[in-house]
Amino acid sequence: MRTYLVTQSDHSLDRGTADVVRAAIEGGVDVVQLREKHATARERYELGRELRELTREADVPLVVNDRLDLAVAVDADGVHLGDDDLPVSVAREQLGDGAIVGRSVSTVEAAREAERAGADYLGVGAVFATRTKDVRADDAEIGLSRVEAIAEAVEIPFVGIGGVTSENAGDVVAAGADGVAVVSEITAADDPAAATRRLRAAVEDRRVEA
């Protein structure tokens, strides 16, 4: 889980999300999360089925943001949950042991709690202040010291998210993250495949072996 793409068509320079995902796969992305915050469930369902084909062909895991029913409907590998979503325990119950269940956290305590609740991985952030407009007030910058603290506190893998670029991705994994998750760094890149390769190289370069 070194490079993790979170989709958002309105940060994709008028390219379709499927095209961005295709390019990210070409660049070696490890995980794709279907987010599309502003789309209806029906739209995400249609898009999710398309992404499932692409990711399955490439053997790349697909997780769905927020909704278990959507994850089941598109035959995704799992879900990614936040504070406002259904609990990890409910996801585990509905999706089974084989599903990937991820959880967004920003504190050591929340990271420990998510691990105890059975999350398979964490999204930790916002590591840096993000450049995108639709950041929620609680997406405050947690910084690299918090990444270090969470790396010490939990055993499950995690990606750093929030303001991550190929410039600072190395610092994030050097602080203990297993990889990085990005939206715009890939979706809004001139060349999403090249951006993914750059990100991947930055992570490989300074990744701490567990």
Give, to the nearest 10 degrees, the angle between helix 41-58 and helix 17-26.
Answer: 20
Catalytic machinery residues: 35, 104, 133
Assigned token pair, 116: 């105890």
Among 35-43, 103-111, 144-152, 176-184, which window interacts with a copy of itself (CB under 8 A)?
Answer: 35-43
User: 134 touches which of a copy of itself, Ni ion, none (CB within 5 to 8 A by kind)?
Assistant: Ni ion
Taking CB within 5 to 8 Å according to partner kind, which of Ni ion, a copy of itself, none is near residue 16? none
Q: What one-letter code names the amino acid at 155?
A: E
| Choice between 111 and 182, CB closer to Ni ion | 182
Quote the CA–CA distance of 141 and 24 in Å, as a whole number: 26
Position among 24, 34, 68, 114 found at the interface with a copy of itself (CB under 8 A): 68
Binding-site member from 28, 50, 61, 94 for a copy of itself (CB under 8 A): 94
Q: Does 117 bind a copy of itself (CB under 8 A)?
A: no
Q: Indicate the burial class of 143 (C-beta count within 10 angstroms; 0-12, 13-18, 19 or more).
A: middle
| CA 100 – CA 45 distance, rounded (Å) | 19
Q: What is the token pair recorded at 52? A: 């499932």
Nearer to Ni ion, 20 or 88 (CB): 20
Tell me: does residue 73 bind a copy of itself (CB under 8 A): yes
Spatial separation of the C-alpha atoms in residues 193 and 138, rounded to whole Å: 31
The binder of a copy of itself chosen from 57, 75, 83, 205 (CB under 8 A): 83
Annotated binding site: 33-37, 65-66, 85, 104, 130-133, 163, 183-184
